[in-house]
Amino acid sequence: MNVAIIPARGGSKRISRKNIKEFCGKPMIAWSIEAALKSGCFEQVIVSTDDAEIAEVAVQHGASVPFMRPAELSDDHTGTTPVVRHAIEWLNLQGSNPQYVCCLYATAPLIDSQDILKGLNALDKEGGDYAFSVTSYAFPIQRAIRIDDDGHVDMFNPEYFTVRSQDLEHAYHDAGQFYWGTSAAWLETRVIFGRRSLPIVLPRHRVQDIDTLEDWEMAEYLFKAVRLRDSSQ
């Protein structure tokens, strides 16, 4: 049994009601729910929330909300892993005992159902603890600079100043879309960014973190561009 868990608490600070704010014609969370359902990977798509309005929107778009998340897991400091672990523990108490559990973020409108499926296939074939979405940095991180308190700059790694960009190792970062894991890995809080995790590499134009209104606008531009390209093919 495979289950999707979409964490979506009600207390977003930087963008009010971000999880259900309209994004390109639908509540933001609807895009993640629909991608999960379309992937065909899951027996259940569950939204873990402390908010009645989010729960109602989630159910309207095809997810289930079989429990309300407790207050102690709904503050600004609670990470993703405890929320997923709580959901798995609840499912186990119901006798469901899922094998693989995929955490999908509610604010990932660029998520693609085929990428979710790739994550499941990779984890099932290769083994390990997790498979999650990553994308490459647009510029070599070895040539990053800092700006100090006096407004001056220096390099984090000055030894790479004379190295050609094309000769530097490629670096990747978490794409913030989905995280497949075995139930055991989630329950034991094993490290996600570690040797027993598998990367599902996404193109940069389908990745956008959404923490600010500027991020939101950029995500809308990317979303519309991707949809326009797909409709013309």
Q: Is residue 160 part of a domain?
A: no
Query: pTM of the full predicted structure?
Result: 0.93
Is residue 100 domain-resident?
A: yes
Structural domain for 115, as ranges: 2-135+173-232
Pull the structure tokens for residue 99: 């094998």
**What is the predicted pLDDT for the residue at 202?**
97
Query: Is residue 53 in a domain?
Result: yes
The model's pLDDT over 17-56, given as tens digits with 9 standing for 90+, comes to 999 999 999 999 999 999 999 999 999 999 999 999 999 9
Contacting residues for 7 by C-beta, under 8 A, at least 6 apart: 48, 49, 69, 80, 83, 84, 103, 105, 106
Residue 11 pLDDT grade (very low, low, confident, very high; cuts 50, 70, 90): confident
pLDDT of residue 233: 67
Residue 106 lies in a domain: yes
- Total domain count, the chain: 1
Query: What's the whole-number average pLDDT of the chain?
Result: 94
> Can you tell me the distance from the alpha carbon of 26 to that of 59, in angstroms, rounded to the nearest whole number?
14
Residue 146 lies in a domain: no
CA–chain centroid gap for 44, Å, is 18
- DSSP alpha helices (H): ranges in the chain? 28-39, 52-60, 80-93, 113-126, 183-187, 213-232
Question: What is the distance between the alpha carbons of residues 118 and 179, in angstroms, rounded to a whole number?
Answer: 11
